[in-house]
């Protein structure tokens, strides 16, 4: 999956690092993965602006993360430490084709922040009563420090 941090998350990172404000992200804050059926309208969309999946059996799923690590080139990464599964999709149509995913602070609804957008290398879909899964390590967030 290719991905990009949103402007909102970049601001939160800088606020946290500089101590300007106390961010609302805490260690106990859950981040959710959602699926989209259309390209996001911008690089910093609201949840209301996204075309999220509507399918029986679909819900955003919580993501469990590895501890961040930094390689010798200054790339700091964290990835999902457990598989993330959607479904089964019990409606007749199953899961419609999804080409994008997103990470958000909200388990449902349109109140919350979109913190990452990911374009899938291979579109996802599933027939009735099937599931789709993001394997361990397949959701990757990274920050690069040019030192």
Euclidean distance between CA atoms 18 and 125, whole angstroms = 42
Find, among 35, 42, 51, 3, the residue nearest to 101 by Cα. Answer: 35
DSSP structural state of residue 27:
T
Residue 11 lies in a domain: yes
Residue 135 lies in a domain: no
Residue 106 lies in a domain: yes
Residue 146 lies in a domain: no
Token digits of residue 29: 């804050």
Give phi and psi for 15, each to the nearest 5.
-60, -40
Find, among 56, 58, 39, 37, the residue nearest to 108 by Cα. Answer: 58
pLDDT string in tens for the chain (147-residue length): 445 666 677 677 766 656 666 655 555 578 899 999 999 998 889 999 999 999 999 999 999 888 788 888 878 788 899 999 999 999 999 999 999 999 998 999 999 889 889 999 999 999 999 999 999 999 988 876 554
Domain membership of residue 97 as a residue range: 2-67+77-126
Token digits of residue 27: 């260690």
- Residue 147's pLDDT is 47
- Residue 74's pLDDT is 76
Give phi and psi for 9, each to the nearest 5.
-70, -40
- Residue 57's pLDDT is 96
- Residue 78's pLDDT is 85
Q: What pTM, to 2 d.p., does this model score?
A: 0.83
For the chain, how many structural domains are there in total?
A: 1
Which residues does 95 contact at the CB level (< 8 Å), separation at least 6?
35, 53, 55, 57, 58, 86, 87, 89, 124, 125, 126, 130, 132
Token digits of residue 127: 């027939």
Euclidean distance between CA atoms 47 and 108, whole angstroms = 9
Residue 40 lies in a domain: yes
- Residue 144's pLDDT is 67
Euclidean distance between CA atoms 60 and 108, whole angstroms = 7
Residue 101 lies in a domain: yes
Residue 92 lies in a domain: yes
Find, among 60, 51, 48, the residue nearest to 134 by Cα. Answer: 60
């Amino acid at each position: 999956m290719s991905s990009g941090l949103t402007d909102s998350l970049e601001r939160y990172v800088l606020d946290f690092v500089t101590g300007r404000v106390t961010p609302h992200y805490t260690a106990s804050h859950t981040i959710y993965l959602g699926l989209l059926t259309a390209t996001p309208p911008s690089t910093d969309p609201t949840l209301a602006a996204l075309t999220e999946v509507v399918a029986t059996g679909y819900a955003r799923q919580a993501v469990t993360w590895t501890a961040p690590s930094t390689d010798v080139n200054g790339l700091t990464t964290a990835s999902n430490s457990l598989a993330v599964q959607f479904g089964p999709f019990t409606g007749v149509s199953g899961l419609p084709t999804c080409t994008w995913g997103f990470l958000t602070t909200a388990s449902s609804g349109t109140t919350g922040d979109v913190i990452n957008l990911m374009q899938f290398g291979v579109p996802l879909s599933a027939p009735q009563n099937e599931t789709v899964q993001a394997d361990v390590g397949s959701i990757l967030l990274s920050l690069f420090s040019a030192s």
